[in-house]
Structure 1
Amino acid sequence: MSDATPDPDSTPDPVDASARLLRAVRVGDPVEERVTALATLDEAALTGLSVPARTAFWLNCYNAAAQLLLDTEPDLYEVRRAFFGAEALPVAGHPLSLDGIEHGLLRGRSKHGFGYLPRLFASGFERRHRLPAVDPRVHFALNCGAESCPAVAAYSRDADAELDDAAATYLDRTVEYDPDAGLRGRGVVRVPRTCLWFRRDFGGASGVRTLLRAYDLLPADASPRVRYLDWDWSPRPRRFRE
């Protein structure tokens, strides 16, 4: 049996490969080799990823793919169904769309029905490599190029802590809490519209309030009505986190 160390270039780490692509997109370096590295990944390399690593991988893939589409086909963004459904990035020999990455692999649920509907006709690839459960924090890390989206960051195998930071930053910027508004002075909190579109991911309004308390955006004893902010779809490409 050989004791030789495997050549790291022959079996690239998926998370590192996805982060390298995203960094190349950010600084304007050529991306062809980075895209090819993901396209030719051995699918077995994805199977052994931990949940945080798998989350990081698919977030990096989504955010890189979205920026590449915005760079190469900016007019496609005007027709959102086409934009989200277009083949955006090949991974391990499988061409993936933004919808496929977000709803098939990160969420494993339909994009319709406020998140309560299953994703019908999921591919075998999706079933093998999707996350075992929805983590609502991914909604504060995905950037499709809209003005209301959070800033893009590269995620690592320590994605759990990084997602906490992303969620705290985005929610602190967007959430509006008025403790004296509403019926009988119950208060009103206004949150990003993704909390409505994917209501089930957050556990409904009570889950949203629990999340906001966890990030110190609501007092522990507050139970305000939840309202949803409008989503600004104006194109805002290349919003990278400092």
Structure 2
Amino acid sequence: MTESPSYVLESGSPAGISRALLNAVRVETPVDGHLEALARASHDDLEPIRADEETGLAFWLNLYNAATQLLLEERPGLFESRIRFFRAAAITVAGVDLSLDDIEHGIIRGRKSKYGLGYLPRLEPTGLPAGYQLGRDPRIHFALNCGAASCPAIRFYEPETIDSTLEEATRTSLESTVEYDADRNRVVVPRVCLWFLGDFGGRSGIRSLLAAHELIPPDSSPKLRFASYDWTKARRMFLE
């Protein structure tokens, strides 16, 4: 007897399903079919997101942002305790319940702790094989939306254009938050740059990023100051 095709392959590519889920969240249409496809997917179904970094990154960024919005809608009280909110089961992939922390720190950041300024390994397993882990890209901190007012706007990520979309997300976020004071030789940057200092390559890496986006003069070395973070709950921050 011929084995029937998997649910995911009948419904579309894994990256396509994650994008469709995020769009369903945006326009407030049913999401159950997309959630079921992701939950029932086999590791073979999900091979494209392990084989190609861009495909994997697009998949997980869309999935994280969709899962956050669903968690805020279905269990809004959790947001009162950030520890509980980020550790709660948010979405199921290949039969594994994943929290927002699992997706961000266990997969997207390549199993790095959320503590220790981005330099320490994450000890907690996600439940998925190590092959799902990605290499660290500091631009993801301008793409992930955890439901707080200081989070960046939610965009849609496609494997073919993810580099340019991440660049745009980073540029937009930095331009709206960075404050450079030449007289005092200092620059105020988003708080996430401190929380994940190691992801950015340390303070020199942050300055290089700012210079690349023409927010500080080339070869300058201003003192870094880190803005406070507004944790006010803010749902549905989709880029129009």
TM-score scaled by length of structure 2:
0.92
Q: Does 1:119 align with 2:117?
A: no
Matching residue within 195, 198, 223 for 2:196: 198
Q: Does 1:80 align with 2:82?
A: yes
Aligned AA for 1:144?
A: C
* Distance apart, 1:42 and its partner CA: 2.4
Match of 1:184 in 2: none
Match of 1:229 in 2: 227
Distance in 2, Cα, partners of 1:62 & 1:167: 17
Aligned AA for 2:165?
A: E
Match of 2:170 in 1: 167
Match of 1:12 in 2: 12
Q: Spell out, residue by residue over 1:23-72, the C-alpha distance to the aligned partner (whole angstroms, 9 max, x if none).
A: 00001101111111111222223333311111111101100000001111
Aligned length: 231
Distance in 1, Cα, partners of 2:129 & 2:170: 25
The answer to whether the 8 Å contact 1:105/1:126 transfers is no
- For residues 11 and 31 of structure 1, do their structure 2 counterparts lie closer, same or farther at Cα, with a shift above 3 Å needed? closer
* Distance apart, 1:124 and its partner CA: 5.4
* Distance apart, 1:86 and its partner CA: 0.4
Distance in 2, Cα, partners of 1:236 & 1:104: 25
Distance in 1, Cα, partners of 2:22 & 2:72: 14
SS of the residue 2:10 aligns to? coil
Aligned AA for 1:239?
A: M
Match of 1:128 in 2: 131
Deviation beyond 4 Å, 4+ runs, structure 1 = 6-9
Distance in 2, Cα, partners of 1:201 & 1:153: 21
* Gapped regions of structure 2 (runs ≥ 5): 1-5
* Gapped regions of structure 1 (runs ≥ 5): 1-5, 182-186
Distance in 2, Cα, partners of 1:79 & 1:123: 21
TM-score scaled by length of structure 1:
0.91
SS of the residue 1:196 aligns to? helix
- For residues 238 and 10 of structure 1, do their structure 2 counterparts lie closer, same or farther at Cα, with a shift above 3 Å needed? same
Aligned AA for 2:231?
A: W
RMSD of the alignment, in Å?
1.6
SS of the residue 1:117 aligns to? coil
Distance in 2, Cα, partners of 1:11 & 1:42: 13
Match of 2:57 in 1: 55
Aligned AA for 2:215?
A: L
